[in-house]
């Protein structure tokens, strides 16, 4: 949870406590220099990381491989990830108290499938990791008041396997099948994936197209953040320091004559998508298409939601191709090229995948009407 990336904090240096045995284990030749123990109490050492050395370690982390190693083969300075405080609260109140500690940058650890790699690459460098895995009250998947409510500790695999969640909102199961690999789905959490706010992630797009809500708590109370205000940029969400995302609410499929579709293209199964589309479509009483909308993965800094109604309204529900919807998607997006795909290729994929997702959604809608 709370695994969205932030810049490392350098100001004023940092003091971190570690057990004496751990400190001795990582004290290697060519190592920490000015990070040697400053004092000890009850079997613990205290290290002070200066402003200058913290910047140096960050440069080592993002530089070339040879730049990170000294002449003796040991990593220069600190091993990665950098030393970090650890707290394992027994209640939500304890977790919020730890997150609210003054002058401490804290990150929440639930599944760790996004946070731990970021810490290893020094793209996230918190002072404190708050492990919420003992907060059993946050481990649930339930359908209540027309919402699929997913707690902060519910693993992807639990949401994927929930018959009630799939019946209320089929898009959840359709999208979760594409999330990484079984090993990651068994540990990673759905709420954590959303808070991570990766624009290539499946669950942020699902939340966006469904107009869902994220509930967050802090020592000052609780608040709800709509999906339209939640994603601020790549790996940046509206969760503030000191807050814990406790639940995500996905609206159930409200219309009786509605269906959903999800598809994506990646270089290998389980990789992040080069492009992906999560779609919803619904029918009129005469059986023709009433409207549709879709959310797109990897097409911008945040999950992008596009209203496709103008391109499909009034069309026959048995259409096998939606060229107007595909053209609209290609027209609206101008993705930044990268090492995975050019702008032209991604725009082409957006059009093709829009047609595929709509076809699947309308097939579901017809089945709902006829079934």
pLDDT one-digit tens code per residue, 72-96? 333 444 448 889 999 999 999 999 9
pLDDT computed for residue 5 by the predictor: 38
* Residue 324 pLDDT > 80: yes
* Residue 48 pLDDT > 50: no
What average pLDDT does range 289-310 have in this prediction?
97
User: Can you tell me whether residue 177 is helix, strand or coil?
Assistant: coil
The model's confidence at residue 61, banded by pLDDT at 50, 70 and 90, is: very low
DSSP string, 308-343: -HHHHTT--TT-S--HHHHHHHHHH--PPP-SS--H
The model's confidence at residue 11, banded by pLDDT at 50, 70 and 90, is: very low
pLDDT computed for residue 256 by the predictor: 79
DSSP string, 25-56: HT--TT--GGGS---EETTEEEEEE-HHHHHH
pLDDT one-digit tens code per residue, 114-138? 999 999 988 899 999 999 999 999 9
Angle CA(173)–CA(285)–CA(291) in degrees, nearest 5? 55
The model's confidence at residue 320, banded by pLDDT at 50, 70 and 90, is: confident
The Cα 341–Cα 364 span in angstroms is 31
User: Can you tell me whether residue 171 is helix, strand or coil?
Assistant: helix
Burial class (CB in 10 A: 0-12, 13-18, 19+), 331: exposed
pLDDT computed for residue 235 by the predictor: 95
Average pLDDT score over the chain: 84
* Residue 371 pLDDT > 80: no
Return the residue matching tokens 């140096």: 56
The Cα 204–Cα 298 span in angstroms is 11
pLDDT: which is higher, 159 or 55? 159
Whether 148 and 139 have beta carbons less than 8 Å apart is answered as no
The model's confidence at residue 41, banded by pLDDT at 50, 70 and 90, is: very low
The Cα 229–Cα 226 span in angstroms is 6
The Cα 203–Cα 178 span in angstroms is 10
User: Can you tell me whether residue 162 is helix, strand or coil?
Assistant: coil
pLDDT computed for residue 17 by the predictor: 39
The model's confidence at residue 260, banded by pLDDT at 50, 70 and 90, is: very high
Whether 293 and 206 have beta carbons less than 8 Å apart is answered as no
C-alpha Rg value of the chain to the nearest Å: 23
* Residue 245 pLDDT > 70: yes
- In order of 96, 135, 173, 221, the CA distances from 92 in angstroms are 6, 7, 28, 12
pLDDT computed for residue 369 by the predictor: 84
């Amino acid at each position: 949870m709370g695994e969205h990336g932030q810049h490392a904090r350098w100001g004023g240096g940092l003091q971190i406590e570690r057990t004496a045995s751990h400190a001795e284990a990582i004290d290697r030749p060519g190592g920490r220099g000015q990070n040697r123990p400053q004092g000890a109490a009850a079997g613990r050492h205290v290290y002070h990381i200066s402003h200058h050395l913290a910047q140096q370690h960050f440069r080592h982390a993002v530089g070339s491989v040879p730049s990170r190693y000294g002449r003796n083969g040991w990593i220069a300075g600190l091993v990665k990830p950098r030393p970090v405080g650890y707290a394992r609260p027994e209640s939500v109140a304890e977790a919020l108290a730890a997150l609210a500690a003054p002058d401490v940058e804290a990150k929440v650890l639930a599944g760790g499938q996004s946070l731990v790699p970021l810490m290893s690459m020094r793209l996230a460098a918190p002072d404190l990791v708050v492990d919420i895995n003992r907060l059993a009250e946050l481990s649930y998947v339930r359908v209540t008041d027309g919402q699929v409510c997913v707690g902060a500790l519910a693993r992807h695999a639990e949401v994927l396997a929930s018959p009630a969640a799939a019946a209320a909102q089929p898009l959840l199961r359709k999208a979760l099948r594409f999330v990484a690999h079984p090993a990651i789905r068994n540990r990673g959490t759905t709420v954590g994936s959303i808070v991570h706010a990766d624009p290539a992630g499946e669950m942020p797009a699902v939340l966006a197209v469904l107009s869902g809500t994220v509930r967050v708590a802090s020592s000052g109370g609780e608040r709800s953040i709509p999906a339209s205000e939640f994603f601020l940029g790549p790996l940046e969400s509206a969760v503030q320091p000191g807050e814990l995302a406790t639940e995500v609410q996905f609206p159930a499929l409200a219309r009786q004559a509605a269906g959903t579709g999800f598809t994506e293209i990646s270089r290998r199964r389980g990789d992040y998508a080069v492009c992906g589309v999560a779609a919803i479509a619904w029918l009129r009483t005469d059986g023709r298409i009433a409207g549709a909308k879709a959310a797109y993965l990897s097409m911008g800094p945040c999950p992008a939601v596009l209203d496709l109604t103008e391109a499909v309204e009034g069309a026959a529900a048995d259409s096998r191709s939606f060229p107007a919807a595909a053209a609209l998607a290609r027209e609206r997006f101008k993705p930044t090229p990268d090492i995975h795909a050019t702008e032209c290729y991604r725009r082409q994929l957006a059009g093709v995948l829009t047609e595929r997702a709509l076809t699947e959604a309308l097939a579901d809608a017809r089945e709902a009407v006829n079934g």
